[in-house]
Structure 1
């Protein structure tokens, strides 16, 4: 395995639902970790809604979902409540997990160069092995592609 291959991290982060979680907590089941730029923005809302709307299908396949962004826990709590997300959102305000997964990239926002999260998704099997990753994700059709990959694991 390559040195920089993402793995089930032991980095503990605050999570919605008044919890502290680390990705390693999910060993023993398949896990989808999706990184998104910002709470309450159109693309991120649509992506989260897609995972929400297919959540029961992921669960039926023994797979959990975790969303991660650099937003604060308070922002995550409002976003998760408003969208009724049944899965936890991790607040990575110090970019620890983002750096472990190498998702902080230079982006062009209205002609200005900024550093931000590149929308990315990672699928781990029940043993904690990374089996697939999607980078530079486009939201339409993405959740369905991830669900299909989980089905192939099952």
Structure 2
């Protein structure tokens, strides 16, 4: 699968989700879908990002938008993270990186001089027809929520 671009139909995909569910993109036609990719459960930036979406869920619902978080963590780790943070949305486990590859979020990262492939914090907005309408890459958590809400007001 090649990386999806803005204005393109996002190919349908399925991935394991929390709450013993399977996420299938086509099941959400008629709704805007916000998918945010984050590096790791229970880390400061990832926790704050999820909390920002959680605390503003009513604003997303008012815009006919459902939210899903994605990382490579296991479903078990996701279930614990979701419960601890009281997230009202499902987390998707992309352990084989198929969804990460579709959205092009895997990149070479450096940490303490060590290089590795990891998820670059990114968010994607898919419209009610299944087209990618907005993307945010290398997200800075503090201002990100406002950017996303502003984009929802425009569509």
Q: Same fold (TM over 0.5)?
A: yes
Aligned to 1:5: 4
> What's 1:14 paired with?
16
Q: CA deviation at 1:25?
A: 1.8
Segments of structure 2 that go 5 or more residues without pairing to the other structure are none
Q: Normalising by structure 2, what TM-score?
A: 0.93
Displacement of 1:36 in angstroms is 0.3
Secondary structure (helix, strand or coil) at the match of 2:153 reads: helix
Hey, which bits of structure 1, 4+ residues long, moved more than 4 A?
none
Matched-pair contact (CA < 8 Å) for 2:4–2:10:
no
Mapped partners of 2:114, 2:146: distance in 1:
33
Q: CA RMSD in A?
A: 1.2
5+ residue gaps, structure 1:
none
String of CA shifts for 1:63-114, please: whole Å, max 9, x gaps: 1111100000000000000000001100001101001111000001111101
Number of residues of Structure 1 aligned to a counterpart in Structure 2: 151
**1:137 counterpart residue number:** 139
Give the Cα–Cα distance (whole angstroms) in 2 for the partners of residues 75 and 22 of structure 1: 21
Q: Distance in 2 between matches of 1:31 and 1:133?
A: 12
TM-score (norm 1): 0.94
In structure 2, distance between residues paired with 1:133 and 1:119: 11
Question: How much does 1:31 deviate?
Answer: 1.0
